[in-house]
Structure 1
Amino acid sequence: MNKILIVDDEPNILLSLEFLFKKEGYKVYIARDGEEAMGIIETNIPELVILDIMMPKVDGYEVCKHIKLHHANVKVIFISAKSKQQEIEKGLSLGADLYVTKPFSTKDLVGKVKSILN
């Protein structure tokens, strides 16, 4: 069973994505900020992290750097309201496998996760 970590400071996004991916058969972990995410990653290495950028304590860019430095095989999908081309390029240059702008289609996101993990 693939493990997914969802990191976002918006409770409604966390809840809806957690429900959706559990329904699809994934083991789901959730974190409300980057610091909590890095703690989870060290104890339960996921195959994929769905990661917001703008969060308290540690932002998504820093979490992505940490993941790619210590767990290079973990896939990263950024989901963010930051939609400028330079922000998207920054996310991808840090090693993200995909950058999805908010608002997004949850159905499309599930499809993209499946294709990245298979």
Structure 2
Amino acid sequence: MNSILIVDDSENILMALDIMFKEENYNTIFASDGREALKKIEKNGPDIILMDMEMPVLNGMDTLIELRKKGYTVPVIMMTAGDFIMLREKALESGAQECIQKPFNCFELIRLIKRLTPG
């Protein structure tokens, strides 16, 4: 079973994505900020990461940059409710595989996750 680390400071988003991904047979792991995400990545080694850009403590972009500096190659999909065109470009340049805009289409997100995860 593939595991997905969901990083977002919104408990509602975490709960909704948990339900959605469990229905698709993913093991879900959660973090509410980038610092917590880095710890969970080291401990759990997820197959893919879905991460919000705007969070307290350590934002998603800085977390992504730190991940890549440490040599992690796990696929990362960034989420943003901000200026999508500018932020998507920055996320892709920083090593994300994709960036999606909130609110997003759940079916499209599942297709994207399946495309980026093994087996």
Identity of aligned residues (%): 36
Report how far residue 65 of structure 1 moved: 1.1
1:5-44 pair list within 5 angstroms: 5-44=5-44
Q: Scaled by the length of structure 1, what TM-score is found? A: 0.94
Unaligned 5+ segments in structure 2 are none
Number of aligned positions between the proteins: 118
Q: Scaled by the length of structure 2, what TM-score is found? A: 0.93
Q: 1:23 to 1:71 in 2, by over 3 A?
A: farther
Report how far residue 71 of structure 1 moved: 4.1
Distance of 2:89 and 2:52 partners within structure 1: 15
Unaligned 5+ segments in structure 1 are none
Flag as ranges the 4+ runs of structure 1 deviating above 4 A.
Answer: none
The CA RMSD measured in Å over matched residues stands at 1.2
Report how far residue 117 of structure 1 moved: 1.2
**Secondary structure of 1:90's match?**
helix
Distance of 1:59 and 1:18 partners within structure 2: 21
Q: Which residue is equivalent to 1:86?
A: 86
Report how far residue 47 of structure 1 moved: 1.2
The amino acid that maps onto 1:60 is G
**Secondary structure of 1:5's match?**
strand
**Which region of structure 1 is more displaced relative to structure 2, 29-38 or 61-70?**
61-70
Contact 2:5/2:30 (8 A) holds in 1 = yes
Report how far residue 83 of structure 1 moved: 2.9
Contact 2:84/2:101 (8 A) holds in 1 = no
Distance of 1:116 and 1:33 partners within structure 2: 23
Q: Which residue is equivalent to 1:102?
A: 102
